[in-house]
Copies of this chain bind each other. A is one copy, B any other.
Amino acid sequence: MSTPVFERIAIIGVGLIGSSIARAAMEKNAAGAVSLFDANAAALARAGELGIGEPAATLEGAVRDADAVFLCVPVGAMGSVAQAGIGAMKPGAILTDVGSVKASVARDLKAHAREGVHIIPGHPIAGTEKSGPDAGFGSLFESRWCILTPEAGGSEAYAAAAQTLAAFWRALGSRVELMDAQRHDLVLAITSHVPHLIAYNIVATAHDMESVTEGEVVKFSAAGFRDFTRIAASDPTMWRDVFLNNKEAVLEVLGRFDDDLTALRKAIRNGDGATLFNQFTHARGIRRSIIEAGQDTAAPNFGRDAPDPPKL
């Protein structure tokens, strides 16, 4: 068995992502030990019962001996948790996070920077619609990308720390990409934030019409709608914070989305079948690329309606 990347890590926030890191780190020997803390005492107790790490009585106790501290809390809470915990961290340790927005988190963490602690924001592009310590699993990060946004122009020790953090994520099965925080926020606005907002929005529209349709939205959801409800079932606090903290990029992408939708509405109104057909044809190409890139299953309906074995 190889040496773990870190002797000890601390997971602050034992929800879906935090508890998955804890599980994966132990299963894959990426960390020798895992300290856990959560401001929610019930969640922390549950993580202890699940045996995914060592619950600490205080935030300071959790971070004290850790080589890397992972903040797995909503984006809006990163600053205050960093402020409360960074003073107890040991020299040379890494402070990182898993938030879905990076520029605002980088700013909030840096506001509490301390000599000798390496602040390296990060974002594993992985998750499910479930929340809480029971929802995590150790294979969540396999074949998924993890984006790190270290500051440019840091010291040699800082660059080395970033490499060590990258090695940790690779040990969990992730592919790692270094990126500028602003660019991360624009890319994620289109691949994640706006899709989630659209999903929340159409579920709300359907909810308002539900009174008109007396349960029919739920009944006939297999026609497409059910796909949207899955991502719209994600943690509301986490997503509220994403939109409050990636406002500019989200509004920019939403503006483009709106322009495109206006064009499609016009095509429908005018009975312009050629425009509709051409737009719809493009979409198949992107789907194919995603499957080829190993980022989704090729199985029909994501494999959830198991087909019969093919008859030949």
Contacts and interface: CB of A to CB of B under 8 A. Distances in A.
A41 interface: no
A27 B221 CA distance: 26
A312 B76 CA distance: 32
Interface in A228-253: 228-234, 236-237, 239-241, 243-244, 247, 250-251, 253
B304 A208 contact: no
- Protomer copies: 2
A186 B206 CA distance: 11
Interface residues of A, number: 122
A284 B207 CA distance: 11
24 contacts: A135-B300, A139-B307, A190-B206, A191-B223, A198-B228, A199-B224, A201-B257, A201-B264, A204-B279, A205-B260, A219-B295, A227-B230, A229-B296, A230-B296, A230-B301, A232-B286, A232-B287, A236-B284, A239-B280, A247-B269, A247-B271, A258-B258, A299-B304, A304-B304
Interface of A: 23, 27, 50-52, 76, 100, 125-130, 134-135, 137-140, 144-145, 147, 177, 186-188, 190-210, 212-213, 216-234, 236-237, 239-241, 243-244, 247, 250-251, 253-254, 256-258, 260-261, 264-265, 267-269, 271, 273, 276-277, 279-284, 286-290, 293, 295-297, 299-308, 310-312
